[in-house]
Amino acid sequence: MAEQKPTKKDFVDLINTVMGTNVMTEDQLTRFLNEAKHVKDTSGTEGLLEYVQRVTNAPTSKDQLKKLANQIQQTGSAGAALDFLKNENLLTEQQARKLNKAIEQTAKKKKKNRRELLK
């Protein structure tokens, strides 16, 4: 059976867990993703990176965002992405631990749901 991919709800839960408060809904994430796709289609990667910076107020450079995207594409690993963010001083050790814990909880929940579906 193919591995289930995270849902929008999973991402929203992850974001809200990391932030420690409900800062995003599934509808907001859907709007963000739709707008990001539109920006990418009309303005390319550079436009997309500028959009992400503007919308998230992320304290990152476009170069850092490009490197992060490349890291995720090359490794497919959340751990490698977290290491990159720590090395670039974009996450503290505490934030990285919190994010990693939320990712692990989501993975466990997905695994449990798959087992229940197979029963």
Domain that holds residue 79: 8-117
| 31 lies in some domain | yes
Helix 8-19 to helix 93-118 angle (10° resolution) is: 150
Burial status of residue 72 (CB atoms within 10 A of its CB: 0-12, 13-18, 19 or more): middle
Tens digit of pLDDT for each residue in 10-69? Answer: 888 877 777 778 888 999 999 999 999 999 999 998 888 888 888 877 777 888 888 887
User: Rounded to an integer, what distance in angstroms lies between the CA atom of residue 28 and that of residue 25?
Assistant: 5
| 3 lies in some domain | no
Domain count, the chain: 1
Q: Specify the pTM.
A: 0.63
Q: Which residues, 6+ apart, have CB-to-CB distance to 114 below 8 Å?
A: 1, 4
User: Rounded to an integer, what distance in angstroms lies between the CA atom of residue 109 and that of residue 116?
Assistant: 11
| 13 lies in some domain | yes
Q: Which residue has the higher pLDDT, 97 or 6?
A: 97
pLDDT, position 1? 46
| 88 lies in some domain | yes
| 111 lies in some domain | yes
Tens digit of pLDDT for each residue in 56-66? Answer: 777 778 888 88
